[in-house]
Structure formats: structure tokens, C-alpha cells
Amino acid sequence: MSQSSPEIIDWLMTGARTVSRETDQSLASFKSLIDEKTVSFTLPIDRAVAGGFLADRIAYAFAAGYEAALQRLVPRLPQKTIVSLCVTESGGGHPRAIKTRLDKDPSGEGFTLTGEKTFITAALQAEILMVAASTGADSAGKNRIRMVLVNRGEKGVTITPMPDLPFVPEISHGVVSFAGVTVREQDVLAGDGYTDYIKPFRTIEDIHVVGAVMGHLLRVAITFSWPKETCQGLLALIAAVRTLAAGDPRDPAVHLALAGLMTLFDRFITDIEPLWEKTDAPTCERWARDRKLLSVAEKARQARLSGAWSHYDF
């Protein structure tokens, strides 16, 4: 049975008094904390919000939202595992730029994966890699994409660290190479790699990450005794993001409502700006450094919004 908004809200409000002010510096340790504290939640969005609440910084809130989003996209993924989505290559993330190959193994059993992915989120901590690969062009010359699951310990997988970003440096990034990696039949996900996974994930990720950041801000608001009206506003935003998480991420109506919610959240962030003076120095400094995360992929969001409006002939 899925949880209703009042249940997650009650968890957030009653759990506020038992949350440690500081989170362990290890992403793996934080993931273990989420797994322990959110075991009763069946919905990925609730695990995202609760994970954000448990986080003492946006970096870990993002991690909670990102992992929950992947669970929403592929429910078969094990919850107590760090998963990384591997799409982008040197030519970008568009389907036509994907050169990584998934070929039938000459033995006739399974497949082999060959190629390289760049800018992989949580690359150094990931235990499972979800990889977009080409199986060749169709009759119209369109690149056919499939998604496959690969354990990082498979022979032929090499992960090379990238420099830390200037914001959320706790989240590693890296380059992942696949040199004839063996892929089992059951680890090739059903459906089209682009339309069923890559494209909807952009929306799913936005919903779950922003929900996690809302949860993080509620933690800050309660910890530092911000006005009750601020907490109420965050709870209303959390209830709204939960509703969107239940929708079809391909639905233009969801895209319009999400854009509206993001606008409201942006205004909320502007309104609470003076309240950061009531926090301690580490909390304030991390927020100032890491809030840039919220504007990442803004160009893609605007393209999605434009497409949603055009669906309704505006």
C-alpha cells in the first residue's frame, strides 16, 4: 500500500527531533542511512523526500533524489545499491551520439558491450551501471538504443575519476569504459532505450531531486527554528511534488505542472534568502555553494516546456 501525503508529512515532522545535525562524509554511508531510515516507504518519491530530510547538504539530498528516480524508472533495481545512469558520450547525450555498442556474443549466448561513457554521476561509488548502447541503425537509419545493467566489477569495466565540480563536490563523476564486457540476456532491459528510459528519466529526475531538496530545506527550517509558515510552505510543495511523481513522466500535462511547481519553488527560495543568516556557517556556506545544482539542465527543461505547450496548440 502506498503512503498518503499526511503519512510522509507526519514522518518528517516527528522525525525532525531525532535527526543528527551532521551526516557522515561518505556517500556510501549516507546511502546506508537512507536504506535504514526509509525502509517503510514503498514509493521512490517518499524515499527521495525523506532522504533529503536526512541530508545535511544538497549533495546528499541530490543523491537521495537521483537514486530514487532510478528506482522509479526501473523498479527491479535493488534498493540498497548505488546505481549510475550512463548515457552521455564525447558527442553528447542525444541518441545519434551514442556509439557504445551492444552486440550479440559470437558464442550465441548473451551480448558484449563496448564503448565509453563520460560525466557519469556517482561513478566512483556505483555498484550497478545502467548503460545506453546502440544495437545498430533501423531501416530508416535511426540509431536503435537499448539499456543494459552492468555490475561495476565485471571484467572489462574501467572507471576513471574526473575532477570534482565546483558545487556538490561530494558527488563523484567519472569516465566509464567497456571493453567487450559480457552482458546477460536478462540484463538487457525491455523496451526502447530512448523513449522508455532516457527521455522520461529527465522528468523523473527533476521531480525526485527537487522533492529531496524540499525535504532538505524542511530539515534546515526545523533545525534552525525558521517561521512555522516557512515549514507549512515546504510541506505544501512536498505534497504537490508527490502528486506529480505519480503521473506519467511522458505526459505534457505533467511537464506543464512541473514547470509551474519549479517556478513556485524558485520564488520560495528567493523569499527565504534572509533566513540563512539564522543557520550555522557550514550550513549556510554549503547552501551558497551548492544551490547552483538547481539550475543545471535548465536549457533541457525549457525545451521540454516548449514541447508541452505546443501539444496544446499554444
DSSP assignment letter at 107: T
User: In this predicted structure, what is the pLDDT of residue 14?
Assistant: 85
When divided into structural domains, the chain yields a total of 2
User: In this predicted structure, what is the pLDDT of residue 24?
Assistant: 56
Kindly state whether residues 172 and 100 are assigned to the same domain: yes
Kindly state whether residues 209 and 106 are assigned to the same domain: no
User: In this predicted structure, what is the pLDDT of residue 2?
Assistant: 47
Query: Which residue range is the domain that position 166 belongs to?
Result: 83-188
Which distant-in-sequence residues (6+ apart) come within 8 Å of 126 by Cβ?
Answer: 82, 83, 84, 120, 152, 159
Kindly state whether residues 228 and 126 are assigned to the same domain: no
Residue 178 resides in a domain: yes
Residue labelled with grid coordinates 525535504: 215
Residue 3 resides in a domain: no
User: In this predicted structure, what is the pLDDT of residue 21?
Assistant: 55
Alpha-carbon distance of 230 to 261, in angstroms, equals 16
User: In this predicted structure, what is the pLDDT of residue 105?
Assistant: 87
Alpha-carbon distance of 60 to 51, in angstroms, equals 8
Helices and strands in the chain: count of H runs, count of E runs: 9, 7
Rg of the chain (C-alpha set): 20
Residue 1 resides in a domain: no
Residue 153 resides in a domain: yes
Kindly state whether residues 70 and 209 are assigned to the same domain: yes
User: In this predicted structure, what is the pLDDT of residue 28?
Assistant: 85
Alpha-carbon distance of 152 to 177, in angstroms, equals 11
Alpha-carbon distance of 8 to 93, in angstroms, equals 35
Kindly state whether residues 18 and 103 are assigned to the same domain: no
CA dihedral over 116, 118, 120, 126, signed as positive or negative: positive
List the pLDDT tens digit at each of the 314 positions of the chain. 345 567 899 999 987 556 665 555 688 888 888 888 888 899 999 999 999 999 989 999 999 999 999 999 999 999 889 999 999 999 998 899 999 999 998 877 899 999 999 999 999 999 999 999 999 998 888 999 999 999 999 999 999 999 999 999 999 999 999 999 999 999 999 999 999 999 999 999 999 999 999 999 999 999 999 999 999 999 999 999 999 999 999 999 999 999 999 999 999 999 999 999 999 999 999 999 999 999 988 989 999 999 999 999 76
User: In this predicted structure, what is the pLDDT of residue 222?
Assistant: 93
Alpha-carbon distance of 136 to 90, in angstroms, equals 18
Kindly state whether residues 207 and 297 are assigned to the same domain: yes
Residue ending a domain, choose from 188, 213, 232 = 188
Kindly state whether residues 235 and 176 are assigned to the same domain: no
Kindly state whether residues 217 and 300 are assigned to the same domain: yes
User: In this predicted structure, what is the pLDDT of residue 1?
Assistant: 36
Residue 204 resides in a domain: yes
Kindly state whether residues 264 and 241 are assigned to the same domain: yes
Round to the nearest angstrom and report the end-to-end CA distance of the chain. 39
Bridge partners, residue 84, by sequence: 129
Kindly state whether residues 280 and 298 are assigned to the same domain: yes
Residue 27 resides in a domain: yes
Kindly state whether residues 27 and 115 are assigned to the same domain: no
Residue 2 resides in a domain: no
Kindly state whether residues 98 and 173 are assigned to the same domain: yes
Asked if residues 252 and 311 have their Cβ atoms less than 8 Å apart, the reply is: yes
Residue ending a domain, choose from 161, 188, 215 = 188
Residue 100 resides in a domain: yes
Looking at residue 99, which CATH number applies to its domain? 2.40.110.10
Residue ending a domain, choose from 131, 164, 188 = 188
Outline where the chain has alpha helix (H): 5-15, 27-37, 44-54, 58-73, 199-223, 228-245, 252-271, 281-290, 298-311
